[in-house]
Structure formats: C-alpha cells, structure tokens
Amino acid sequence: MFARGVVVLLVFVISGQCVLRKDRQYWEELGANEIEEALAIKNNLGVAKNVILFIGDGMGAHTVTAARIHKGGEGHRLSFEKFPHIGLLKTYSADKMVPDSASTATALLGGVKTNHKTLGVDASVSNGDCEASLRPEAKVESLAAHALRAGKGAGFVTTMRVTHATPAPVYAFSSDRNWECDALTPANCKDIARQMIEDWPGRDLNVILGGGRQSLIPNATALENDPLSNWACSRKDGRNLIEDYKKNKKSRGLNYTFVNNTEQLKSIPEDTDYLFGIFANAHLPYEFQRTPESPSIVDMTEAAIKVLQRNENGFFLMVEGGNIDMGHHRGRARTAIDEALAMEEAVKLAYNMTDPSDTLIVVTSDHAHSMTINGHPNRGDDIFGTVGPSRADGLNYTTIAYGTGGPGSRQYEIQVVNGTNQIVRRDPIQDDTTDFMYEQISAITLDENKHGGGDVGVYASGPYSHLFHNVHEQHYVYYAISYAARMGKYAERPTVSGAFSMQAHLLLYFMSLLLVLIAVI
C-alpha cells in the first residue's frame, strides 16, 4: 500500500525534454493509488485538544485550482488538499446572496449567519444599528471565547489589520465592520480596537498578530515602506491602545511580549504567555513586496503556535490569509495566487508543528471571488499566460479573467481603423501577464473587483475531521469544531476514543457470533 502523501510524478525527463505523462498506464496507476489512499483513512474519534482554523480570505475554488497549477502543475496537490476529509460551504449571509467578510467570519467563528457588514452579532442587528448591537442577547460568542472558557489558550494571526472584518468576530461585537476606531464609531458604541484591548475575550487572547497600527495609536506616521491607508480608521481620541495593553498585562502580573518586526517576533522569550505584534500601519504588505522587517504569515503562525503550546489544555488559533482577497480586489491574479501559496506554507508548518492525533486543522475560505479559468490552454501552460486567438476579434486573451474588475482592468485602447478612432481590445501578448501587478481583464468595470457567491471548499485533518463530508452551511464549521474540541454547547458531550470504538466493534462482532452459534445449537 502506498503511504499517505505519495506524490506521483507528472513530469519526467526523456532525452533532456520535459514530457507530461498521459499514457493509459499512468492514469490506471493514479486511480489505483487514490483508491488505496482512500481505503487507508480511519476516522479519528479523539478529542481535539488543539484547533487551528485557516481562513483564506477570498480563496474560492478557482483560486485553489490556480494555486495548485502554478505551484506544481495540473496534477499537483496542495498540502491541505491531501487532508483526508473535505466538503463545501454555502457562503450566503442572512441578507445577501454574495456576502462580505464580516458576516461570513461571524458564521465561521460564531455559529450564526448574520447581516452584511455586521460582526459578532446575530441577524436581529442591522448594519449601522448601534443600539441593537449592545443588546446582550444579540451578541454571539466566538470559538476563541469558548476556548478560553475551557481553560485553553486562544488567539489569531492575520495579514490584515487586527481590527479588520475577518479577525474582529474573534473578540468584538459591532453592527458595522468599519467602526475599527473611535473616529467612525457612534458615541454610544465602543470601537472594535477598544473592544480588543479592554473587553473580554479580546483582553485575554494569548496571541494577537497582524497590522492596523493607525487604529490603535494617535497620530500614526507614514513610513517609506509602511504608508497610512485611506481605507483604515485613524484614532482621534488620543488613546494609545498598545500602551494600554502593556499596562493591563503588567497590572495582572502576566508574562507578555510586544513586537513590531520580524527580528523581535523570532526572538520572543520562551516564557511568553501573551504575544501582541503589530507590524504595519494598515495591512501587511503582499508577500512579493515584503521586506525583512515585515514577518510572513508563516513566521507569525510559527510564533503563535509556540506561545499557545505552553497551555497544557490546548488552544484555538485562527489564521487569516487576508491578502488573497486584497489581490483579487485589485484584479491581480498572480498576487492573489502567490498569497494563497504563502498561506499553504503556513498550513504545512502548522501540521508539522502539531500532532494530527489531537489537533484539528481546518482550512477554508469566507467567500469566493469572480475569477475564472478560461479557454483551452494546453496542459503545462503557464496559468497566467494567454490563449487564443478569439474568433471574434482575432486577439489572444488571458487564461484567467474576472467577472467584475476595477479601472485597471480596462484593457482596451483607441486605434485608428480605416481613418476613424475605434476602441479595440488590447492584445495581452503585448504585456507581461505573469507580472504581480498585471490586472486581468474583466467583463464589467466597477470601482474594484467584487466578491463571488460560489461555494468554497473546507479541508480538515485531525479529530472528528470526518464531520466535514458534504455540502454544509457555512456556520456549520463552528458546530463541527465545537463538537470536536468539546467546547461551547458540546463541552459536556461524552467522549469516545478511537481505541474504545474499535473494542466496542469487536465486542459487538463476537456477541453477534455467539448469538448465531446459540441459535444453531
């Protein structure tokens, strides 16, 4: 039997040339290997001591496919695609067919579908309704809160602002995702940043790593490699929440470490129980633009797990690859795919740093994007290349395109045809379509690329990963994780170990055999 994770080579060398196998024997061997791999899977019925939830923001099915092809070819599998159990999630929110990240992250982390642009609250709260969000019965506790109640460690890692739409439902309750600091928040409501520092569960999170300095301190200054963002909120109340965090931990006698660059992150004291890292004014830079001072998602995930593993009761960690979404919003497919592969490396590291017998790892997305893979490119072609020509205008087109796009995707130009100016499509072979900044063409030009409404994949490994097995509602992830880790409403559920389960099956078998023998006699 082939061991799990065996990689069947798609490419081999004949006479110095790279050849893609497509003979009958190859396909038969590949099919047989997959059957043996499937038969080797055994359900893990142990308790998930640790849970790591990876959210690839905007990482729809086509993004995963393109990442796979770009990394290793059509037959390649990403690390999480080798997980034994997978399913699909329906991403619609309580009021929108195509959702935003705040509502979908609330579904994943809080177990309810809620309204567009609201977070940490149920659907009784409308977007912008401050008073409604204050009602205790409208608030939903996150998986991180349940982990803390169970005596576990908890925290999150993000390449976005730590107050952004996906991480915020870990600790905050707000009727508007934009209320990241006081400048945009009604007086009766507390901004998301203050909730993270002052309120439970935010103040008790063991790990907070990401960007968003300008929402945390007054008068944040732009640096050469760290600009301020017009999309982010800047504090007006003069509060320095980073200093407030430090004072809180000192007053409670807790071992904490604050870091703001990669070197500090990689040299935190071993006795650190609370790690707070802010590495940018707004979002962290894309992987291809990252400087040595800015940590990667792999660096942050490694540091987070090391801190959380100090808790003997286990932990819950959410890791967001947010720049996947940012790349797609700009229509830059190469950037988005590169970010997806960066998160894949973080998944691989997390798997290797933990024990699959007691650690549930779930990889999914909050929503898809409108990216498509088009035409009939040859197997082995560059996923960021071109195909064609089109029968309509005789020009080539990119393999990847978007349904909607921003101004940069207007790849048309004015040419003189028969003495008159005409708008014609620009042939993409004139450009470097593999460049990180290249913006693929889109069908509809808007202010930016919009989200897609398709289902997203969910990939799972570890205790009770088999609970992910078909097409699920998105908020089901919260319930499956809660059940596997015996948290929240499932804190008191009975446990069944894998060994006990096998013994029970054997006992039932022998009892049945005994009854048959008695009947015969």
Distance between CA 387 and CA 395 in Å, rounded? 9
Token code pair at residue 385? 């290349």
Q: Which residues are annotated as a binding site?
A: 57, 164, 166, 320, 325, 329, 366-367, 451
Residues marked as catalytic:
101
Give CA–CA dist 452/454, Å, rounded.
6
Contact at 8 Å (CB) between 262 and 294? yes
The rounded distance, in Å, linking the Cα atoms of 491 and 240 is 37
- Distance separating the N- and C-terminal Cα atoms of the chain: 42
Residues 6+ apart with CB under 8 A from 151: 311, 313
Alpha-carbon span 53 to 158, nearest angstrom: 12
Nearest Cα residue to 450 out of 328, 288, 309, 302: 328
Cα 424 to Cα 141, 152, 389, 393, 407: the distances in Å are: 54, 60, 15, 9, 16
Give the SS3 label for residue 38: helix
Location of structure tokens 């017009």: 230
How many C-beta neighbours within 10 Å does residue 358 have?
A: 15
Q: How many other CB atoms are found less than 10 A from the CB of residue 377?
A: 18
Report the binding-site residues for Zn(2+): 57, 325, 329, 366-367, 451
Q: DSSP code of 377?
A: P
